[in-house]
Amino acid sequence: MFPVYVRYRWVEWKTKSLSEEAKSREFEALHAKDAPKVLETILRLRGIFIKMGQFACTRADILPETYRNTLSFLFDQVPPLPGPEVRRILEQSLGMPLDEVFDLFDEKALGSASVGQVHRATLKADGRKVVVKMQYPDVESLFRTDFQTLHAFCKLAQPEFLPVFDEIEKQFMSELDFEREAANLAIVSANMKRHYHDQVEVPEPISSLTRPNVIVMTYLDGIKLLDGIKAHVEKMASRMGVPMSVLLEELRSGSSQQAQKDSDQSAKAGPVINSKDRVRELRRIARLARFAVLTAWEDYTLPLARTLWNWTVGVIPALHWRVVPSLDFKGIMSTLVKVHGHQVLVDGVFNADAHPGNIFLLRDGRIGLIDYGQVSNLTPEQRVQYAKLYRALADNDKEAVEKTFTDMGFKSEKMLPEVVYKQAVINLDRDGPDVIPDPSMNLQQYNEYLAKVDKTITFPEGSLMIARCSMLLRGMGTLLGLPPVSIAQGWRQFTEEQV
C-alpha cells in the first residue's frame, strides 16, 4: 500500500496551484488506477481487511465513488473455496455425509466474504430450502494476526484510537463463534416476527445442524439491495432513453444539492444561473420527475391493476409480477432505521453489521436481513441510558446530551463540553454539514480533528457497536441517494418506551 500512499501525496502536492476541476481530473485518474490495486491487496490479505473495506465503501464521505464501486465486490464476491473442499469441511463438521442431510447441495457459493461463504441446499428431512454458512478453516488465526498488526500500527500512528480499536477487536473475534451467532439469530428472528413480520424477515437457524463453524438457516427468496437498485435504475434509464450513469448521477446530485440547500442559509439568496445552466437544470428536473412517475407506475399502480384483474376476472394466474420489489428508497431507509432502533432500544439485541450486502429485497415486497455475526446485547439498564441519550439527541438538547454521555462513561482528557457533544452526535446520530462545519473534511478527518482538540480516553460500554450500526445505516442513506439521515430522529419513538 505504500506506493499508493506516495502517489496520492505526490498528486496532492503537484495540484496545489490548479483549479478544483483540474485537481478532480488528476485524482479521478489516480482513483481509476489504484482502486483495483487496493482491492487486489485486500483480497490477498483477507481477514479483517475485508471488513474494513466493506465498511469504508458504504461511506461516500470517506471513499470516492470509483473506490466504492470497486470495493463493493467485497460484500459477497470474495473468491470462495472450491466445491470439493467445501464438502470435505462440512462433512467433517456435521459428522455425516452431505447426502444424508440434504436432498440438494449447490457447490457453487451464493456469496463469500471475510469469515466464510454460503451455499444453497434443500433439507432431506422436510424439503425446506436452506442456506449453509461455513467458516473458513484458518480464519481465526488470520483475524488474530491482523489485529496484532493493526494494534501495533494504531499504537504507533494513532494512539488516541486504541480504546476504540480494542473494543472493535473484542466484538469482531466473537463473530467467529457460529453457535453464538445461531442463538442470536433465533432471538432476533423471533423478535422481528413478533413486531415487524409484515415489513422484514430474518432467517431461522436449524439448531440440530448448528456447529461451531457451520450454521444452517432458512432461505430468503429475494435479491440483494444493490442488485435491486441497479436493476431498477437501469430499467428506468432504458425507458427514459438516457444512460444509466447519467440518471444515477442526477439522482445523487439531486439529493446532495437538496441537503446542501437545507443546511446552507446562504442558499436563500440563490446562485446566479445563466440561461444554458437553467435549461440544463430544467431538463434534469424533468428527467427526475419522469423517473418518479415511472417508478410509481411500475411499483404501485401497475401491480394494483393486475391484482384487481385477478380478483375480478380470475383468468390471469397469480404470479410475481415484479422482478424487483418496490424501490421506495425513503421507505426502505425508514424501515431499516426503525427496525434497528427497535432492536437496540426495545429488544436490546441488535445487529451492528447492517451493510448493503446484508440487506435483501424479498419477492413478497418485504426486506430480508441476514448475517448476525456482529450482534451486541444491552442490559435493561443500558437500554434506559441509551434511550435518554437518543431522546436528548433527537431534541437537540446539548446540555442533556453532554451530561448523559458523560454519566454513561465517556471520558476525554479535557472534557470540553462541545467535544463531548460532537462525539455523541457524529458517532451515534448524524454527520451532515450542520455537524461537520468544514466541507473539506470527511467523517474520518473530523474525528481526527476532534481527537487533537480533546483526545478521547473511553467510550460508554456498548456505544461502539451502536455507533457502527448507526454509521452503516447512515452510509446506506447515502448509497440510496437520500439527504443526511438522523438516527436519533428515527429512534425517537422508542425512547418513550424506556424512559
User: Is residue 321 included in any domain, yes or no?
Assistant: no
Q: Specify whether 358 is located in the same domain as 387.
A: yes
Residue 157 lies in a domain: no
End position of a domain, from candidates 281, 312, 343: 312
Task: Say if 320 falls within a structural domain.
Answer: no
Same domain, 396 and 488: yes
Cell of residue 380, nine digits: 435493561
Bridging pattern class, strands 200-201 and 367-369: parallel
Residues 55 and 88 in one domain: no
**Phi, psi dihedrals of residue 478, rounded to the nearest 5°:** -65, -40
Give domain status of residue 162, yes or no.
no
Q: Does 88 share its domain with 194? A: yes
Choose one of 57, 75, 93: the last residue of a domain.
75
Question: How many distinct structural domains can be found in the chain?
Answer: 4
Q: Are residues 367 and 388 in the same domain?
A: yes
Residue 47 CB-density burial (10 A; 0-12 exposed, 13-18 middle, 19+ buried) = buried
Range of the domain at 285: 226-266+273-312
> Within the chain, how many helices (H) and strands (E) appear?
20, 13
DSSP 300: I
Check residue 85 and give its pLDDT: 94
Is residue 43 a part of any domain in this protein? yes
Are residues 125 and 70 located together in one domain of the fold? no
Number of CB atoms found within 10 A of residue 496's CB:
10
Task: Please report whether residue 161 resides in a domain.
Answer: no
* Residue 372 sits in the same domain as residue 458: yes
Amino acid symbol at 415: M
Does any domain span residue 147?
no
Domain of residue 208, CATH code = 3.30.200
Residues 335, 479 within the same domain: yes
Alpha-carbon distance of 132 to 105, in angstroms, equals 9
**3-class DSSP state for residue 214?**
strand
- Output b/e per residue, 381-399; b: 16+ Cβ within 10 A: ebbebbbbbbbbbbeeebe
Based on the domain organization, do 234 and 215 belong to the same domain? no
Shared domain check, 282 and 212: no
Do 230 and 211 reside in the same domain of the chain?
no
* Measured CA distances, 222 to 11, 46, 219, 360, 377 (Å): 44, 27, 9, 6, 28
Residues in the chain, pLDDT under 70? 60-61, 76-77, 160, 171, 244-327, 499
The domain boundary, picked from 75, 96, 130, lies at 75
Same domain, 207 and 232: no
Residue 194 maps to a domain: yes
Count of other CB atoms within 10 angstroms of residue 276: 8
